[in-house]
Chain A
């Protein structure tokens, strides 16, 4: 099996809110896959669908080869999941919750849980309610890893945690990747993602705005600054394989984040009268993220409006949430 997660056309509508508007995603086995997106972009909804906690309004997905809407239990046996606010039984002690959870999994769970707990230096006989936020997160991670899952899903696991705990989470992720397991992480810590991820998908307004391998992304996206002698000069349109992710102008300068910017595009811009200077440098992931999530919001919405009518006619949309978009 080469893909750990696949999703085609996933849509999720809540009354008055379209959380996902057609997500297509492929997470190859053995990769560290990062989901980036603003708060409310739909990351958690997507993860909840993948883990079988929610059924999508439309679209299909598979996780470890199973369909979450039919075989949620099979999937849960194979994955580990840490949410941003792990739900743990407050009144249990750290060792008790391990013992309790172990009863749902095959042998070996408790030993591995014990090893992680010692490694993370969490006091075993303390009650969950008396743990710090970082310790709770570590317990949740230890539980999620103890059955050696094929796929580890982390939903903003490190938000609000100190650098030590964040580092330990990253080390655990890398450790999973080294042993060929798959990790899906949703995060706002772009610098962390930049270090550990093989693949990145940027989700914006319920759609995948960009999905690529980290290496390819870094090689192909550049930030281009153009100096002009007059702020009103119109620049030639960049066509072909070139995609302008965002464009800003400030006085006599334009700045663009461009995918696939090459020498010929540079020459095309330089040839335009009034263009004084064109400089490009590789964009950081943060710049790409900002460009994708702020950039051409209007254009993206418009595109979507056209694409949508067709999908609605398939009749998969519940009447509750209908209408809000087409009106």
Chain B
């Protein structure tokens, strides 16, 4: 899979890797049992500090998403998909919360926000390519 790292978007780099791996598993770009690139390979490929990659992998292991395959590397756990979907859901909820906080902070009324959300949701629902479908067409 391809990662894209943005060093100055406010999300720590290790967290960006964690999220991208999680999302990739949720949409099944990474399949259960598939092996992830080694710390060395990924850090050179992305030109980021190897400790950052190691930290991300460690966190993914703690989250029960990856498990070590003795002497070979890290693979996606059985049952990781469900876990990753949950994590993805909470990450997305968090960013929606941020957008809503901004709206409230800017002085919009709850009803106005609801209207905006409804309108945008109606417009977008069914018209947005889901991540897994874009992956299939682009690969």
Residues of A near any B CB (own CB < 8 A)? 32, 167, 170-171, 174-175, 177-178, 191, 194-198, 214-215, 218, 277, 281-282, 284-286
B45-76 vs A: 1/0 string, CB under 8 Å? Answer: 01111110001000000000000000000000
Q: List 27 A–B pairs whose Cβ atoms lie within 8 Å, in order of A's numbering.
A: A167-B47, A171-B47, A174-B43, A174-B44, A174-B47, A174-B49, A174-B50, A175-B44, A177-B43, A177-B50, A177-B51, A178-B40, A194-B7, A194-B13, A195-B5, A195-B48, A195-B49, A196-B47, A197-B49, A198-B51, A277-B105, A282-B10, A284-B8, A284-B10, A285-B7, A285-B8, A286-B8
Complex CA–CA separation, A191 to B46 (angstroms): 13
Contacts of A194 in B (CB 8 A): 7-8, 13
Taking the complex as formed, is B39 at the interface, i.e. its CB lies under 8 A from any CB of chain A? yes
In the complex, the number of residue pairs spanning A and B with C-beta atoms less than 8 Å apart equals 52
Contacts of B50 in A (CB 8 A): 174, 177-178
Contact B10 A195 (CB under 8 A): no
Contact A196 B48 (CB under 8 A): yes
Complex CA–CA separation, A116 to B105 (angstroms): 55
The residue among A175, A195, A218, A286 with the most chain B CB atoms within 10 A of its own CB is: A195
| A contact face: mostly helix, strand, loop, or mixed | helix
Query: In the complex, what's the smallest C-beta–C-beta distance from B28 to chain A, in angstroms?
Result: 29
Residues of B near any A CB (own CB < 8 A)? 5, 7-8, 10, 12-13, 39-40, 43-44, 46-51, 55, 105
Q: Which of B13, B39, B40, B105 contacts A195 (CB 8 A)?
A: B13
Closest A residue by C-beta to B11: A282
Complex CA–CA separation, A214 to B46 (angstroms): 17
Known pairs A174-B47, A177-B43, A177-B50; list 10 more (Cβ under 8 Å): A174-B43, A177-B51, A195-B13, A195-B47, A215-B55, A277-B105, A282-B12, A284-B10, A285-B7, A285-B8
